[in-house]
Amino acid sequence: MAIMMVIIGLGAAVFGYSLTFPGADHFRSGNWVPGPAFFPRLLTVLLILVTGVELVREIRKRTLRKSEAASAAGGAFPPAAKNSFREWARDWGTQNALILLALMFAFPLLLDSIGFAILGFVMVFTIAWRLKAGALKSAVFAAFTVTLTMFFFKYVFYLDFPPGLWSPTMMF
């Protein structure tokens, strides 16, 4: 749970830093184009939301465990057991937080060599799958999200992502 709080804190710090970036006050070809602050803000808001959902799930799970333990002990709470590192590492929420941190650090390092299409798919698929969406739903959601993101950046922001290992031809 502490890792999730750290992730939320880091997200808030990145969002705060992005407030120093120029805003969206310019136009290109008569159309409004968001400034450089848009994407970091969008990602940090999504990061904070996803981590917040995972944090709420963890708090509910712990509250349920405590109430079950209290009812089994006749209403009195048993003394707090010391959690070992193994128990902490086996916890689903802890694993999700560590995987999310690893993906966040690996993404910018691998983006140029692997490319956005593959790396974005792997990242979105992994996050959706770890949030128990199922393999097929995660794959469809990841493919849709990456395609929509590439389309949005290409035709709204006029930016291309690094092609990396595979450069799909977008037929829009």
**What pTM, to 2 d.p., does this model score?**
0.58
**pLDDT exceeds cutoff 50 at 123:** yes
For residue 5, being part of any structural domain is answered with yes
Range ranked top by mean pLDDT from 69-73, 76-80, 167-171: 69-73
Helix (H), strand (E) at residue 56: helix 38-72
Domain for residue 172, yes or no? no
Burial of 2 per CB tally in 10 Å (0-12, 13-18, 19+): exposed
Is 84 inside any structural domain?
no
Domain final residue pick, 20, 38, 72? 72
Q: Is residue 80 part of a domain?
A: no
Give domain status of residue 86, yes or no.
no
Task: Quote the pLDDT of residue 171.
Answer: 42
Number of folded domains that form the chain:
2
Q: Write out pLDDT tens, residues 19-44.
A: 888 766 655 556 666 777 777 888 88
Cα distances (angstroms) measured from residue 36 to each of 19, 22, 122: 10, 6, 25
In this structure, the answer to whether residues 67 and 99 fall within a common structural domain is no
Q: Which pLDDT score is estimated for 172?
A: 43
Structural domain for 35, as ranges: 1-72
**Residues 2, 29 within the same domain:** yes
Same domain, 43 and 102: no
Asked whether residue 78 is assigned to any structural domain, the reply reads no
Distance, in Å, from the CA atom of 121 to the CA atom of 161, rounded to the nearest integer, reads 13
